[in-house]
């Protein structure tokens, strides 16, 4: 699959285009506007494209089995959770957003609950992840199997549907024991290559 980037909208895939076309034809079929001119047609196309994002997110949750789950620290952020001294790694953040335009993405992190809300806003998790699991959702931290099972329960997926990425090998090995595919993160180019080996193109 191929992803594209549009100003103001971010990453999108061919699925967004297909959904936008279908929605546009649907709006046209309602015939609620008479004597279409170019500006009206353009406006409807823009509205259809904007709506394609939430529609696609709902669509892929139901029909796309694959989930790519990420740890935070060391993968797309640097620093420490304490006092919320975390900074995003721009290239990794952008890559996750690109992946989300084609796949379900998830956060699986040992993030402290007291810092979760502010860090979520700082990193704009809504634009990065379809699912988010932290210790307060499972009463357990990685590498405890409970937190991996919490992700599976939340998503309704089998372990074999999930690719888990973490810079800590202990956590990756724990994910593999549960049945997930695991990738030890070392660098973004290495991650892309490892994902390609799992059949994920990005």
Q: What is the pLDDT of residues 53-68, one digit of tens each?
A: 999 999 998 888 899 9
Domains of the chain by start residue, with CATH:
3-63 (no CATH), 67-197 (3.40.50.1000)
> 168: Cβ–Cβ under 8 A, 6 or more apart, which residues?
71, 74, 142, 184
pLDDT tens per residue across span 20-46: 999 988 887 776 555 667 787 888 889
pTM comes to 0.86
pLDDT tens per residue across span 93-115: 999 999 999 999 999 998 877 77
- Residue pair 125/162 in contact (Cβ under 8 Å)? The answer is no
Buried b or exposed e, range 22-49, using 16+ CB within 10 angstroms: ebbeebeeeeeeeeeeeeeeeebeeebb
């Amino acid at each position: 699959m191929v992803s594209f980037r549009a100003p103001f909208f971010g990453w999108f895939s061919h699925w967004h285009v297909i959904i936008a076309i279908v929605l546009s034809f649907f709006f046209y079929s309602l015939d609620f506007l008479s004597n279409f001119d170019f500006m009206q047609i353009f406006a409807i196309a823009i509205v259809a494209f904007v709506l394609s994002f939430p529609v696609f997110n709902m669509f892929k949750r139901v029909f796309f089995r694959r989930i790519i789950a990420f740890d935070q620290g060391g993968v797309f952020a640097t620093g420490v959770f304490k006092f919320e001294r975390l900074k995003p790694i721009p290239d990794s953040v952008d890559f996750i957003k690109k992946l989300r335009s084609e796949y379900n993405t998830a956060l699986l992190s040992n993030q402290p609950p007291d810092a979760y809300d502010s860090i979520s806003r700082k990193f704009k998790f809504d634009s990065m992840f379809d699912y988010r699991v932290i210790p307060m959702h499972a009463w357990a931290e990685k590498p405890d199997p409970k937190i991996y099972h919490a992700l599976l329960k939340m998503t309704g997926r089998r372990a074999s549907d999930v690719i888990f990425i973490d810079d800590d090998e202990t956590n990756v090995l724990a994910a593999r024991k549960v049945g997930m595919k695991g990738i030890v993160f070392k660098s973004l180019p290495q991650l892309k290559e490892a994902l390609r080996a799992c059949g994920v193109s990005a």
